[in-house]
Amino acid sequence: MKISNVSVKALKEKYGTPLYIYDVNHLKKNMEGYLKNFKSLEFKTEVLYASKAFSCKEILRIAKNEGMSLDVVSKGELYTALSIDFPKDRIYFHGNNKTVDELSYAIDNNIGMIVVDNLMELYEIEEIAKEKEKKVNFLIRMNVGVEAHTHKFIVTSHVDSKFGVLYDSCDYKEMMEVIKNSSYLNFKGFHSHIGSQIFDLDAFKAALEKLLNIVKDFDFPLVLNLGGGFGVHYTNDDKPIPFDIVSRTLIETAEAALKKNNIKLEKLCIEPGRSIVAEAGYTLYTIGYMKKTPNKQYYFIDGGMTDNIRPALYQAKYDCDIVGKENQEKTEVVTIAGKCCESGDLIIEGAHLPKAEKGDLLITYTTGAYGYSMSSNYNKALTPAVVFVEDGKDYLAIRRQTLDELIEREV
């Protein structure tokens, strides 16, 4: 088996397992797919990579060089971006409870846009900006009452979300007053993010239409940011919408609404995370012991919930293969379990695989999003290395954690 023309077995020899592998050709194809299609002649457009899906210097360098903008949700993610000189004017800072320290750090560093999540945060920013005598560009995150999860979406108002502001609320009215009376708050527009792993384009259209409705209240062109959440293929149950169709549909929906209502936009943004990195990522494990119980057959791997918590956290599904045996008959029904002291430490249940031998390599697909970024040191597991492959070459993006690093902060 090869990824981007690099032998997976050779990667195991060179870097060991567990190992995260990213196909750079695939990453670039995803980024370019959005950048090329999410374009309009009527308004500016911007595609942000939501870096919480997978944040490290090398992926951010690639995003930067491809011309992507960036979404960060913490001082840590912002620090990582600044460490590789990501253009500051292309960084958007999200979060429902940004601390004074985080806001000051962002404002000191002249970050392009802060996405304000609630009324109290707006007051905080106004205070910090006044003290620093700086103008702060910001969007307001709206709760547009569209909530989408995977195959379903609901347009009934999910009024109690921890994220965003309701249009019909006292908080919203007060925010507009605060903005009017401040010479430091540079209000630019609105943001919404309706969920993740969404396959229904109508959910995004519904959210966009809600935002476009608010635009009518203003006599200058606004920036609208539609968030991310575009679904990806984990297993054959998932049927993602190609990103050219997602992009074109959103652009056309906006263009049609602008024409109909005779309004203008300054810019339309989207911020995909998962759909940039998920399918470009793989995790490689070594199979150790195997055992049969009355109703199950287990293959044990040398990683687990410490490198991929999603199956344990919310029953996420994955596909896998045994490297070099992809084309063998899949005679076995197997539970792939990790090595953590938790019965819930399962990566896949009911995987169809050929018979394995101790030492075989197991590869799981579509692990590029929320794998490394949600990894933990539970059981004092060492965080795996991350290797990038491109056009037959491989290079280390993050080296494997060492035992010394595991305890270096402990007194």
> From the annotation, which residues make up the binding site for pyridoxal 5'-phosphate?
229, 271-274, 370
**372 Cβ neighbours under 8 A, 6+ residues apart:** 20, 54, 56, 307, 383, 384, 386, 398
Listed ranges 56-64, 228-236, 259-267, 320-328: which one lies at the site for ligand PLP (CB under 6 A) = 228-236
Residues making up the binding site for substrate: 274, 310, 314, 342, 370
Q: How far is the CB of 393 from ligand PLP (least distance, A)?
A: 28
Using the rule CB under 6 A, is 271 a contact of ligand PLP?
A: yes
Query: Which of 193, 205, 310, 339 is the binder for ligand PLP (CB under 6 A)?
Result: 193
- Give the distance from CA 381 to its chain's centroid: 24
**Residue 229 or 240 with smaller CB distance to ligand PLP:** 229
Nearer of residues 338 and 371 to ligand PLP, judged by Cβ: 371
The site that binds ligand PLP (CB under 6 A) totals a number of residues, namely 16
CA atoms within 13 A on the CB side of 183: 4
Q: Which of 227, 281, 311, 338 binds ligand PLP (CB under 6 A)?
A: 227
Measured CA to CA, the distance from residue 324 to residue 9 in angstroms comes to: 9
Report the C-alpha gap between 144 and 164 in whole angstroms: 8
CB 240 within 8 A of CB 275: yes
* Segment near ligand PLP (CB under 6 A); pick from 47-55, 61-69, 83-91, 281-289: 47-55
From 196, 283, 286, 375, residue interacting with ligand PLP (rule: CB under 6 A): 196
Minimum distance from residue 118 beta carbon to ligand PLP (Å):
14
Amino acid identity, residue 217?
Answer: D
**Beta pairing, strands 113-116 & 136-141:** parallel
| Residues making up the binding site | 229, 271-274, 310, 314, 342, 370
Tell me how far, at minimum, the Cβ of 272 lies from ligand PLP, in Å.
Answer: 5
Which CB sits closer to ligand PLP, 250 or 258? Answer: 250
- CA distances for 267 relative to 191, 219, 270, 332, 376, angstroms: 12, 15, 10, 52, 38
Q: How far is the CB of 165 from ligand PLP (least distance, A)?
A: 14
Q: Is 94 in the site for ligand PLP (CB under 6 A)?
A: yes
Total Cβ atoms within 10 A of residue 1: 16
Stretch of 46-54, 239-247, 310-318, 340-348 contacting ligand PLP, by CB under 6 A: 46-54
Give 196's Cβ-side CA count (13 Å radius). 14
Pairwise CA distance, residues 276 & 204, whole Å: 18
Q: Which is nearer to ligand PLP, 7 or 373 (CB)?
A: 373
| Under rule CB under 6 A, residue 274 binds ligand PLP | yes
Q: Please name which of 276, 241, 205 lies closest in space to residue 50, comparing C-alpha atoms.
A: 276
With contacts defined by CB under 6 A, name the span among 9-17, 58-66, 118-126, 222-230 that binds ligand PLP: 222-230
Decide: is 321 part of the binding site for ligand PLP (CB under 6 A). no
Tell me if 373 sits within 8 A of 55, measured CB to CB: yes
CA distance 27 to 20: 14
Site string for ligand PLP, 48-67 (x = CB under 6 A): --x-xx--------------
* Among 18, 33, 112, 272, contact with ligand PLP (rule: CB under 6 A): 272
Binding part of the chain for ligand PLP, among 35-43, 60-68, 121-129, 273-281 by CB under 6 A, reads 273-281
24 vs 246, which CB is nearer to ligand PLP? 246
Tell me if 228 contacts ligand PLP by CB under 6 A. yes
189 is a site residue for ligand PLP (CB under 6 A) = no
Is residue 135 within 8 A of residue 157, CB to CB? The reply is: no
Which residues 296-315 are close enough to bind ligand PLP by CB under 6 A?
A: none
DSSP conformation letters of 317-347: ---EEETT-TTS---EEEEEE-SSS-TT-EE
- Among residues 384, 306, 290, the alpha carbon closest in space to that of 341 is found at 306
Catalytic residues, which ones? 341
CB atoms within 10 A of CB 310: 18
Footprint of ligand PLP (CB under 6 A): 50, 52-53, 71, 94, 193, 196, 227-230, 271-275
